[in-house]
Amino acid sequence: MGVNKKLNQKDIQQFVTEDLIAKIKSEREELRRMVFNHSVTPLDNPLAIRTKRRNIARMLTELNKRKKENKA
């Protein structure tokens, strides 16, 4: 997947919960590296940081939705 690829909700829903948690963890780590690298030397495409952050938010939303469904 490209750096700037927006994850669709359908793509995120296909992940198994354990895979979703692992994906969130790896995406967060990659975001940290991107932000750090951007502070040292500018990225070619700084909008990639925004896309990465929003993809993480989409995945967290799906994870929280699943947690609420399991409680109900």
The pLDDT score that the predictor gives to residue 2 is 59
Domain residues of the chain, as ranges? 9-71
Q: What pTM was estimated for this model as a whole?
A: 0.88
- pLDDT tens figures, 28-71: 999 999 999 999 999 999 999 999 999 999 999 999 999 999 98
Residue 29 corresponds to which amino acid? E
The dihedral of CA 53, 54, 55, 61: what is its sign?
A: positive
Residue 1, pLDDT > 70, answer no
**Residue in 50, 63, 51 with CA at minimum distance from that of residue 24:** 63
Residue 17, pLDDT > 90, answer yes
The dihedral of CA 60, 7, 16, 30: what is its sign?
A: negative
The pLDDT score that the predictor gives to residue 72 is 74
